[in-house]
Chain A
Amino acid sequence: MNDEDIAQLLNSAGPREKPPVEVERIVRARLRAEWLAAVAEKRRDRRRQTTLALAAGILAAAIGLWLVAPQLGESAKPVATVTLASGEVRVSSGWSFGWRDIVPGQSLAVGQSLKTGTSGRGALTLPGGVSARLDQDTLLNITGSDNLTLERGALYVDAGPSASPVSRLDVITPSGSVRHVGTQYEVRLMRTGVRLRVREGRVEWRARSGGIEQSASGEQLTIAGDGTVERQAMPLYGESWDWIAAVAPGIEIEGLPLARFLSWVGRELGREIAYATPAAASDVSGIVVHGSIAGLTPAQALYAVLATTSLRAVLVDGRIVVGSEGAASRPAD
């Protein structure tokens, strides 16, 4: 069989089909996470065997087993809770087929994946009270107790006010990972790379190639496929952030000081709380809220709660200005 025969045959048969790039990217990321977990598990087993071999007696063996028991159960231990699911939000285990609808309150463990449809959004609570929210058409893997792998779409992370203790969380993307330093941020996979928007606090971008970039509140980083990083200023509020408020986990307001409720609304909307007059600030500090805001977005909750007081609010640029009735009008939704 000469060159000509082979060329003729292969050209007649045609080229082999190439898998879609997106499928390759998804399978590679998920398989890599599974492989890393398997390698880690093997190492733990090896460590456990060593521990047992070194144990001098039943007591030592018992102690050894007690020490490793939490690690052995790590993959099945819940590491996240579903707080909100709107539209199509489904969960899958890495080991079985099929996607199932998720329900609020459901626990999620390492190895599970979440995906939202074109009209779905979801919110999770992670260790330390960190809130993670999935935009439409997003695919997210829970790859560890302190890391999530974003394969498609966008994820918003709210680690709580900057002053509060911070739980470590890495969001892994195909080209690098994001680590927060007490913050609110959004990471979105684009066709051309990754877009990172920091709303509060600071984050670190760790490129797969090794470089580290810091980013602070009000900054947007666009990381191109070749690793080039472009920085630009961006507003902390507005239409592009609306999806986050739409899946904000509600809070219990019964018995909550109004100031704390306003602080929550402000963080969810990316706006500072300001007072039209010193008297308004004084009024707010003396009010305790009652009732429930279940099912309301933060903006809707703001109207509903203030309507029960003599106070009103108006949105002015990056602020929510609270004043006495008549001094401030109902804010635009």
Chain B
Amino acid sequence: MADDKQLIRRLLAGDERAFDTFFNAYFARVYRFALPRLNGDVEAAQDVVLSTLTKAMRRLSEFRGDSALFTWICQICRHEVVDHIRARRRSRHVVLIDDQPELRQAIDSIEAPEEYDLVENYGRAETGRLVRVVLDRLPSSYGDALEWKYIEGESVEVIGERLGIGTTAAQSLLARARIAFREALEKVFGAEAADIASSLGA
């Protein structure tokens, strides 16, 4: 949150590097948030993401820090998706499982209802997508580092280089990322990574 507020201050002051940081941290995540809600329409997603980020930029001074900046941007994006669908009636409104009230609350606040058994209730594809949603809800450097390490098989040195930090700092960041990921998974799924992986057929 403190980082978010500092980033906002720099953005409002016209700091070019802050713009790059903001864009690199949020563009892809907002795009992934919008795309499935627009039935995979890339052109519509482009419009909605641009509109969302533009509105977020314009309203940055209103951000109070009650939630993570990404959660706040996602709220704007939900409205933009609805407006877009209303403006173009031919588009089909897609309701995702993570838009259902109980899950949305869990994802937004990382406070899942204890009895909610997601893995059992939803299929493999939806569960896999939700794991990726969880990754996107982590700070962007955490999600990126985890993906680079465990999917792309990159070394800690390379991850440090990509993030512009040293190897030791990258190791420390990866450790924090693992903890945050595990906690987020347990809150959203009510299950541990190994159980979720096995439900995915791993």
**Chain B residues in 8 Å Cβ range of A26:** 46, 50
Minimum CB distance partner of B31 in chain A: A19
Is the CB of B94 closer than 8 A to any CB of chain A? Answer: no
Q: Is A58 in contact with chain B by the CB < 8 A criterion?
A: no
Assess whether B194 is in contact with A94, with CB atoms less than 8 Å apart: no
Complex partner residue of A10 from B23, B57, B150, CB under 8 angstroms: B150
Chain B interface size, under 10 / 10 to 19 / 20 to 34 / 35 or more: 35 or more
Interface residues on A, range: 35 or more
| A23-B45, A32-B19 known; A17-B32 Cβ under 8 A | yes
The chain A residue with its CB closest to the CB of B44 is A97
A9 to B195, CA, bound (A): 9
A133 at the interface (CB under 8 A from B): no
**Contact of A13 with B128 in the complex, beta carbons under 8 Å:** yes
Q: Flag whether B99 is at the interface (Cβ < 8 A).
A: no
Indicate if the CB atoms of B50 and A8 lie closer than 8 Å.
no
The answer to whether A97 and B27 have CB atoms under 8 Å apart is: no
Residues of A within 8 A of B143 (CB): 16
**Which residues in chain A, 62-104, are within 8 Å of chain B measured between CB atoms?**
94-95, 97-98
Q: Which chain B residues numbered 177 to 202 have a C-beta less than 8 Å away from chain A?
A: 178, 181-182, 185, 192-194, 196-197, 200-202
Given A5-B197, A39-B12, A97-B47, A15:B57 Cβ within 8 A: no
Q: Mark B23-48, 1 if CB is under 8 A from A, else 0.
A: 10001100110010000001001110
Dominant secondary structure of chain B at its interface with chain A: helix
A10 to B181: give the CA distance in the assembly, Å. Answer: 11
Does B53 sit within 8 A of A, measured CB to CB? Answer: yes
B196: nearest chain-A partner, CB-CB: A9
Residue of B nearest to A36 (CB): B14
* Residue pair A10, B45 in contact (C-beta under 8 Å): no
Contact A17 B197 (CB under 8 A): no
Chain A min CB distance to B13 (Å): 8
Instruction: Provide the bound-state CA to CA distance between A262 and B182, in Å.
Output: 76
Pair B200/A31 contact, Cβ less than 8 Å: no
A31 proximity list for chain B (CB < 8 A): 23, 50, 53-54, 57
**B8 CB within 8 Å of chain A:** no
Q: Is B51 an interface position by the 8 A CB rule?
A: yes
Pick the interface stretch among B67-75, B129-137, B161-169. Answer: B129-137
Q: How far is the CB of A278 from chain B (nearest CB, A)?
A: 60
Are the CB atoms of A16 and B132 closer together than 8 Å?
yes
Contact of B200 among A1, A13, A34, A98 (CB under 8 A): A13
Contact A97 B51 (CB under 8 A): yes
Q: How far is the CA of A36 from the CA of B13 in the complex (A)?
A: 10
The dominant DSSP class at the A interface is helix
Contact of A199 with B by CB under 8 A = no
Instruction: Judge if A47 is at the interface, Cβ distance under 8 Å.
Output: no
CB distance from B186 to the nearest CB of A (A): 9
Contact B84 A97 (CB under 8 A): yes
Which residues on the B side are within 8 Å of A1 (C-beta)? 178, 182, 192-194
A27 at the interface (CB under 8 A from B): yes
Query: Which residues in A have their C-beta under 8 angstroms from that of B84?
Result: 97
A57 to chain B, nearest CB (A): 31
> Of B11, B14, B42, B192, which one neighbours A20 at CB under 8 angstroms?
B42
- Candidates B46, B193, B201; contact of A6 at CB < 8 Å: B193
Cβ-defined partner of B49 (8 Å) among A13, A27, A35: A27
B residues within 8 A CB of A13? 127-129, 131-132, 200
Residues of A within 8 A of B49 (CB): 19, 23, 27
Cα of A5 to Cα of B131 in the assembled complex, Å = 13
- Scan B120-159; emit 1 where CB is below 8 A from any A CB, else 0: 0000000111011001100000010011001110000000
Contacts of B193 in A (CB 8 A): 1, 5-6, 8-9
Q: How far is the CA of A311 from the CA of B29 in the complex (A)?
A: 66
- Answer whether residue B114 sits at the interface, using C-beta atoms and an 8 A cutoff: no
**B2 → A minimal CB distance (Å):** 22
Q: Is A12 an interface residue (CB 8 A)?
A: yes
Taken residue by residue from 287 to 299, chain A's Cβ proximity to chain B (1 for < 8 Å, 0 otherwise) reads as: 0000000000000
Chain B neighbourhood of A19, CB < 8 A:
27-28, 31-32, 45, 49
Chain A residue at minimum C-beta to C-beta distance from B18: A35
Task: Report the Cα distance A6→B175, complex, angstroms.
Answer: 12
A230 an interface residue at 8 Å Cβ cutoff?
no
CB atoms of A23 and B42 under 8 A apart = yes
A-B contact pairs, 9 of them (CB 8 A): A1-B193, A5-B193, A12-B128, A13-B132, A13-B200, A17-B35, A17-B132, A23-B46, A27-B27
Question: Which 3 residue pairs of A and B lie closest in terms of their CB atoms, listed nearest first?
Answer: A13-B131, A12-B200, A12-B202
